[in-house]
């Protein structure tokens, strides 16, 4: 039995080492804005012009942009064992304290709206969601604001987060599916707390992004 458990132990140790290494990278990169080559005004600048976190993930999809974006909005990420595992690990402290965890709506947009995110923009090829929150707390609450309120929100002790679902049209009926995440905090205390949270949790968050794009590609092409 000891011999049979060794591969599992090595895999767990490798996973922990990889997670820790990425957490260090996330800590060191915090506050450095990603350089882009956009030749047009960035729509996220209207909500978070100076992000402390600025992440972009994308994949090529053999489907037109409208199909890709609709598939993204309706994507059921619950069917991924990886997303299920990360989500349940993240919410374990809350559930141990008797808190409730809502994941009732299968569609990605429907579910995020149900737990408190708001719509900041929704048009051809681009969906932007946003919320103010304190994710370093055990039981996380998301507060939706209007686009105007969100842009000007500066109440101390909060993180402002926006994320997108995007579909860029390509020749030949293909598209680029993209998701972007930006974060800024409202004071120095929130910045310190969120930086610790992001360093510890961003490996899982980024794994969810990659898995979401994998599922999206398959669903849009189907």
pLDDT tens for residues 171-210?
999 999 999 999 999 999 999 999 999 999 888 888 889 9
* Phi, psi for residue 219 in degrees, rounded to 5: -70, -45
pTM recorded for the entire structure: 0.83
Strands 174-185 and 126-133: unpaired
Model pLDDT, residue 24: 85
Residue appearing with tokens 């105007």:
148
Paired with 61 in beta bridges are 175
* Phi, psi for residue 133 in degrees, rounded to 5: -160, 175
Q: Identify whether the C-beta of residue 212 lies closer than 8 Å to the C-beta of residue 77.
A: yes
Model pLDDT, residue 190: 98
Q: Identify whether the C-beta of residue 175 lies closer than 8 Å to the C-beta of residue 61.
A: yes
Model pLDDT, residue 207: 86
């Amino acid at each position: 039995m000891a011999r049979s458990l060794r591969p599992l132990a090595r895999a767990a140790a490798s996973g922990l080492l990889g997670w820790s290494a990425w957490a260090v990278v996330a800590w060191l990169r915090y506050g450095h804005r990603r350089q882009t080559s956009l030749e047009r005004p960035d729509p996220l600048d209207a909500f978070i012009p100076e992000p402390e976190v600025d992440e972009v993930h994308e994949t090529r999809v053999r489907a037109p942009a409208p199909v890709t974006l609709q598939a993204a909005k309706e994507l059921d990420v619950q069917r991924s064992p990886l997303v299920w595992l990360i989500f349940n690990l993240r919410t374990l402290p809350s559930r141990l304290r008797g808190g409730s965890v809502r994941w009732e709506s299968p569609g990605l947009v429907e579910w995020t709206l149900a737990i408190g995110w708001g719509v900041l923009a929704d048009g051809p090829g681009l969906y932007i969601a946003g919320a103010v929150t304190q994710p370093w707390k055990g039981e996380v609450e998301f507060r939706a604001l209007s686009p105007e309120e969100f842009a000007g929100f500066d109440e101390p002790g909060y993180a402002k987060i926006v994320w997108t679902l995007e579909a860029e049209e390509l020749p030949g009926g293909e598209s680029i599916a993209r998701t972007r995440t930006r974060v800024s905090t409202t004071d120095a205390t929130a910045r310190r707390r969120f930086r610790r949270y992001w360093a510890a949790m961003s490996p899982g968050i980024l794994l969810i992004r990659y898995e979401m794009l994998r599922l999206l590609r398959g669903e849009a092409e189907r």
